[in-house]
Chain A
C-alpha cells in the first residue's frame, strides 16, 4: 500500500513558473528555460509512490533536486505544482495547523549536517519534538531517554552535542526524529557527512532498527552515493536535473537501466557486493519450507551475494534467508546466484549476442 503518493510534482524557483513549466513540457532545456523566464526548475514533474514500511531511496548528484524533492514532502519547501498525498490525504492543501500536526505526529526528518540545537543538551535535543507538541516534561524525558538507549547513546543524555563525534551527533539526530514514533522518516543525506566506517555502521544500524521496529517506519532516504542507495533501498529512484530517470528495485536498476545516464552510473558496480540475499531470494516452494530446519545453513537477508556465495555453493539444496530475528524470509538457490554473478561478468549479454549475430552475417 502506498504511504506517500507524489503526483506531477514541480518545484520552480523565481521567474514565471507557469511559463517555465509549459516550456519544460515542450522539451526546452533547463538552461534555456532559465534564460527565457528567469525560473530555475528544481523538480521537474516527479511522480512516484512510497510503499508502506519500505526504504525508498532517491539518488542523484548534487543539484539534481533530490533535497528539494524531499523538502516538498514535509513542505519545508512549498511545491509549485502537483500533489503529495500521505495516507490518501493531500498534504499540499494543508493549512499551517494541519501541517504542524502531521510534522509532530507522523513525519520527522534527519539532516545532513545533523541540524542539532547547540544550546540544548542531547536529551533536550531529542525531546524537542515532544516539547513543542505539548507533552509534559516527565513523559517526554522518559520517552527521549528510551529513544537514546535505542540508538546506543545511553549515558550521554546530559552531554552537549558539541562534545560528541560526528557519528554520535547523527545518532542524536536520529533519536530526535524517532522519538515521536513517526510513520514516515525523511532522511536528507543523513550519513553523507560521516567517515566511511561510521557511515557503514550507521547504515547497518538503521537497517537493523527498521527490522526491529513494529510497525516499521516508511523511510524516504536521499543520497548521492550509489553504493548507499543499493545497500539501503528496497526501491530506488534515480534523479537527474530534477527529473526521475528511473524508479525500481536495485536489481531492476542494475539489470535494466532505463537510459544512458542510469547505465553510466551502474556500469562499474560490482553486483556481488551490492546485491543482497534478499534481492536474489524467492519464496520457498512446495515442501521447501518444511525441509528447512532451524539449524540448516542459512544466510542473513542483508548479506551481499559475495558473502553468501560459499554457503550457497556448498549446500545441496536452496539455502534459507533469514532476517535478524531468525524468521525465514525466503530461499536462495545456486542457480539464482550464478545468474547474478555471470550477469556481472558480461556487462550487457544481449548486446554481445547481437554483435555475435552481426559477425556471423558478415
Chain B
C-alpha cells in the first residue's frame, strides 16, 4: 500500500473546498470587509494626524521615550518635501499607505485570533481533555514553516488579503490560546475556592475572578500574537496581501538593496511600536491586578 501523506492532505483540502465552499466564501467576505474597513479607518485622517494620534497613544499607555520613538519612527515611514533656503528637500520612505495596509491586516488577523483563541484557551483551562487535544495542534501550528500555510490559504481563498489574514491567523493564534490557558490555570486555588464558597455561578467565577486575575498573562499572549502576526503579514505579501512585505519581496526578487532595506526598516519600526504599546498595556493591567 502506498501511503502518501502529502497527497492525503491535498485531498483533504480539495474535499474542504468542494464541500464547504459556501462557508469559505462567507468567511472570505467577512474577513475581506473587516480588513478593508480597518484600512479605511486608518487612512481616513491625513498621515500627520495619525502619527500624532499614535504618538499620543504611546505616551498615554507607555512612556515619553516610546512616544518620541513613535513620532520619529512613524515620521520616517511617511514622506515630506519642503524647501529650505531654496533647496528642495525630500525625506521619509513614503511607505505610509502600505504601513497602514499592514496594520489593518495585523488588526484583522489579531481580532480573529482573539475571537477564537481566548475562548479556546478558556475551554482548555477548564477541561484537561480539551487541553490534551489542543496542545499538540498548537505545537503543530507554531512549528510548521510559516510559508506552508500560504498554499492551502490560496487554494481555499484565492490570492489577496483574505488568505493573508487566514494564514496569519493560523500562525499567530497559538500564544493567545496557550497564555489564556496558562493564565486561568495559574489563578490561585484559594481565590477560586473563595469565589465558590461565596456562591458564584460558573459565569461569575469566570468573569469576576478568573479572567481578571489571568488578564496580565492573557495580555502577554496578545502581545506575542500581534508580533507573530506582523512577521507573518510580511510573508503573506508573497500571495498578494500587499503591505510592507511588498518592498521586501520586491527587494529580493530584483536584488534592490535599497528597497529591501527600507521595507525591512519600516517593519522594525512598526514592530517596536506595537510591541512597546501592547506590552505597556499588559504591564498596566498587571500593576492593577498584581497590586495583589
Interface status of A308 (Cβ within 8 A of chain B): no
In the assembled complex, the Cα of A313 lies from the Cα of B278 at a distance in Å of 74
Contact of B198 among A112, A114, A129 (CB under 8 A): A129
Report whether B193 and A117 are in contact in the complex, using a CB–CB cutoff of 8 Å: no
Residue A321 at the chain B interface, CB threshold 8 Å: no
- The yes or no answer to B290 lying at the interface (CB within 8 A) is yes
Does A119 lie within 8 Å of B213, measured CB to CB?
yes
Cβ of A102: which chain B residues have Cβ within 8 Å of it?
Answer: 199
Interface residues of A in 65-118 (CB under 8 A from B): 71, 74, 76, 99-104, 107-109, 111-118
Give Cα A273–Cα B131 distance, bound, in whole angstroms: 55
**In the assembled complex, how far is the CB of residue A69 from the closest CB belonging to chain B, in whole angstroms?**
15
Chain A residues, Cβ within 8 Å of B204:
132
CB-based contact A119/B288 at 8 Å:
yes
For the complex, give the distance between the alpha carbons of A118 and B188 in Å.
Answer: 10
- Please, what's the 1-or-0 string for B132-164, where 1 marks a CB less than 8 Å from any CB in chain A? 000000000000000000000000000000000
Q: Given the known inter-chain contacts A103-B198, A132-B201, A133-B199, please indicate yes or no for A119 contacting B289, CB distance below 8 A.
A: yes
Q: Which B residues lie within 8 Å of A176 (CB)? A: 194, 198
Q: Which residues of A contact B292 (CB under 8 A)?
A: 118-119, 160-162
Interface membership of B256, Cβ < 8 A: no
Q: Mark B173-201, 1 if CB is under 8 A from A, else 0.
A: 00000000000000010110111111111
Any chain A CB within 8 A of the CB of B238?
A: no
- Is B212's CB under 8 angstroms from A119's CB? yes
Q: Is A128 located at the chain interface by the 8 A CB criterion? A: yes
Given contacts A132-B208, A160-B291, A162-B292, contact A117 B198 (CB under 8 A): no
Is B193 in contact with A108, judged by CB distance below 8 angstroms? no
Q: How far is the CA of A202 from the CA of B109 in the complex (A)?
A: 54
Cβ proximity bits B195-236 to A, threshold 8 Å, 1 near / 0 not:
111111100100011001101000000000000000000000
Residue interface bits B7-42, CB-to-A below 8 A is 1, else 0 = 000000000000000000000000000000000000
Contact in complex: A109, B194 (CB < 8 Å): yes
A287 within 8 A of B: no
Within 8 Å CB of B212, what residues of A? Answer: 117, 119
How far, in Å, is B216 (CB) from chain A's closest CB?
10
Residues on B with C-beta less than 8 A from A76 are: 193, 196-197
List A332-352 residues whose CB lies under 8 Å from chain B. Answer: none
Cβ of B191: which chain A residues have Cβ within 8 Å of it? Answer: 115-118
CA gap between A100 and B191 in the complex, in Å: 17
In the bound assembly, the distance between CA atoms of A116 and B289 in angstroms comes to 12
Q: Determine whether A294 belongs to the interface, using a CB cutoff of 8 Å to chain B.
A: no
Count of chain A residues near B, Cβ 8 A: 32
By CB atoms of chain A within 10 A, which of B190, B197, B215, B290 has the most?
B197
Among residues of A, the one whose C-beta sits closest to the C-beta of B192 is A115
Nearest to A179 among chain B residues (CB) is B198
Cα separation A81 to B122 with both chains bound (whole Å): 32
Residues of B within 8 A of A186 (CB): 197
Please tell me if the beta carbons of B197 and A117 are within 8 angstroms of each other in the complex: no
On chain A, the residues within 8 Å of B195 by CB distance are: 117, 128, 132
Contact of B190 (CB < 8 Å), options: A100, A113, A133:
A113
Closest B residue to A105 using CB positions: B199
Cα–Cα, bound, A47→B288 (Å): 46
Q: In the complex, A102→B200 CA distance in Å? A: 11
Known contacts A114-B190, A115-B188: A103-B197 contact under CB 8 Å:
yes
The reply to whether A118 and B208 contact each other, CB–CB distance below 8 Å, is: no
A163 within 8 A of B: yes
Bound Cα distance from A107 to B196, whole angstroms: 12
Q: Are A111 and B193 in contact (CB under 8 A)?
A: yes
Which of B195, B198, B201, B290 gathers the greatest number of chain A CB atoms within 10 Å?
B198
Q: Give chain A residues whose Cβ lies under 8 Å from the Cβ of B196.
A: 76, 103
Query: Whose C-beta in chain B lies nearest to the C-beta of A103?
Result: B199
B198 lies within 8 A of A115 (CB): no
Docked pose: A103 CA to B195 CA in angstroms:
10
CA distance A221 to B224 in the complex (A): 46
Q: Which residue of A lies closest to B209 (CB)?
A: A117
Chain A neighbourhood of B201, CB < 8 A: 100, 132
Given contacts A104-B199, A128-B195, A132-B198, contact A111 B190 (CB under 8 A): yes
The 5 closest A-B pairs by CB, nearest first: A118-B292, A115-B190, A104-B199, A103-B199, A115-B194
> A101-B199, A186-B197 are known contacts; what are 8 more A-B pairs with Cβ within 8 Å?
A103-B199, A108-B198, A115-B190, A116-B194, A118-B289, A119-B288, A132-B200, A133-B199
Chain A residues proximal to chain B, CB less than 8 Å = 71, 74, 76, 99-104, 107-109, 111-119, 128-129, 131-133, 160-163, 176, 186
10 A-B pairs, CB-CB below 8 angstroms? A99-B199, A100-B200, A103-B196, A115-B191, A117-B191, A132-B201, A160-B291, A162-B292, A163-B291, A176-B194
